[in-house]
């Protein structure tokens, strides 16, 4: 698992969405997951070509004649699908390269930190703080407003989401683990407020969450944008390895 099956790591978000009963579009060429609040995730079989991508995406558009927030796929696939989408709907787009990371179990020996504190679950007293951090995370990292909870009836899901905080006399950092009961668990919402940065709290939080994931027999994975230099430097220093890169396209 540490060196093989990179697609399983690279497309961890897609596996999460399947576990949460997202809308699936599937053909011989590949699989796409559609969510109202996230870009379309597109996976093609390993031998998939640019032609396969175009055939697959045109079939998707015929069945799902609706506007997309954006799409995420390997670079050549993302570019091919973006070209087709713009011809169909017009407009323009922004794009950002995303790095997919995983932490091999062999790197556990490097999971050390000098930051004081401990991992805790949020409670009623600090719920407002955590909520404000989630809002800040979306604005600062994703350049978007926090999605509102859906009013639609939710389907039963096997995914388990746990938000944790790093506590040092007060909450100083936040992170989330999405456990779908598969071979990986995804770290998300990693956030330290500006006045607490540079003190090692983010590193302490990530290492503690990664250690818990490994204790459950899973591999920690996460995503970050290439332009987020601070996060990339942090994850690499902890021992996270790059599994591959994707291109995220956001349509205007």
For residues 94 and 107, state if they share a domain: no
For residues 93 and 81, state if they share a domain: yes
For residues 95 and 74, state if they share a domain: yes
Q: What CATH number is attached to the domain comprising 200?
A: 3.40.630.30
The string of pLDDT tens digits covering residues 26-39 is 998 899 998 777 89
**251 within domain boundaries:** no
**1 within domain boundaries:** no
pLDDT exceeds 80 at position 151: no
For residues 90 and 135, state if they share a domain: no
For residues 136 and 224, state if they share a domain: yes
For residues 165 and 55, state if they share a domain: no
What 8-state DSSP symbol labels residue 155? P
Domain boundary among the residues 99, 134, 169 is at 99
Which residues is 245 bridged to in the sheet? 99
For residues 51 and 169, state if they share a domain: no
For residues 183 and 59, state if they share a domain: no
Count of domains in the chain? Answer: 2
One-character DSSP codes across 12-81:
HHHHHHHHTT-EEEE-SSEEEEEETTEEEEEEE-TT--HHHHHHHHHHHHHH--S--SEEEE-HHHHHHH
Domain of residue 92 covers 6-99
For residues 49 and 110, state if they share a domain: no
Confidence of residue 106 (pLDDT cuts 50, 70, 90): confident
For residues 200 and 163, state if they share a domain: yes
For residues 141 and 232, state if they share a domain: yes
**71 within domain boundaries:** yes
Query: What is this structure's pTM?
Result: 0.85
For residues 198 and 238, state if they share a domain: yes
The string of pLDDT tens digits covering residues 192-233 is 999 999 999 999 999 999 999 999 999 999 999 999 898 999
**250 within domain boundaries:** no
**32 within domain boundaries:** yes
**252 within domain boundaries:** no
The string of pLDDT tens digits covering residues 156-184 is 455 688 999 999 999 999 999 988 777 88
What value does the mean pLDDT of the chain take? 86
In sequence order, the 6+-apart residues with CB closer than 8 A to the CB of 23 are 33, 34, 35
């Amino acid at each position: 698992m540490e060196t093989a099956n990179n697609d399983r790591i690279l497309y961890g978000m897609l596996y999460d969405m399947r576990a949460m009963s997202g809308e699936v579009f599937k053909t011989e060429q590949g699989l796409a997951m559609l969510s109202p609040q996230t870009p379309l995730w597109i996976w093609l079989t390993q031998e998939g070509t640019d032609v396969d991508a175009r055939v697959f995406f045109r079939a998707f558009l015929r069945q799902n004649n609706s506007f997309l927030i954006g799409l995420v796929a390997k670079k050549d696939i993302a570019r091919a699908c973006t070209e087709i989408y713009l011809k169909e709907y017009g407009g323009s787009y922004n794009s950002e390269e995303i790095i997919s990371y995983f932490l091999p179990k062999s790197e556990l020996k490097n999971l050390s930190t000098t930051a004081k504190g401990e991992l805790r679950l949020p409670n009623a007293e600090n719920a407002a703080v955590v909520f404000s951090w989630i809002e800040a995370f979306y604005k600062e990292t994703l350049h978007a407003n926090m999605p509102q909870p859906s009013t639609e009836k939710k389907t039963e899901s096997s995914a388990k989401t746990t938000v944790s905080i790093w506590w040092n006399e007060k909450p100083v950092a936040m992170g989330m683990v999405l456990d779908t009961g598969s071979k990986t668990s995804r770290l998300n919402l990693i956030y330290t407020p500006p006045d607490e940065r540079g003190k090692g709290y983010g590193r302490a939080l990530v290492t503690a969450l990664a250690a818990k994931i490994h204790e459950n027999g899973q591999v920690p994975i996460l995503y970050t944008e290439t332009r987020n230099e601070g996060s990339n430097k942090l994850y690499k220093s902890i021992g996270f390895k790059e599994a591959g890169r994707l291109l995220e396209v956001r349509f205007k």
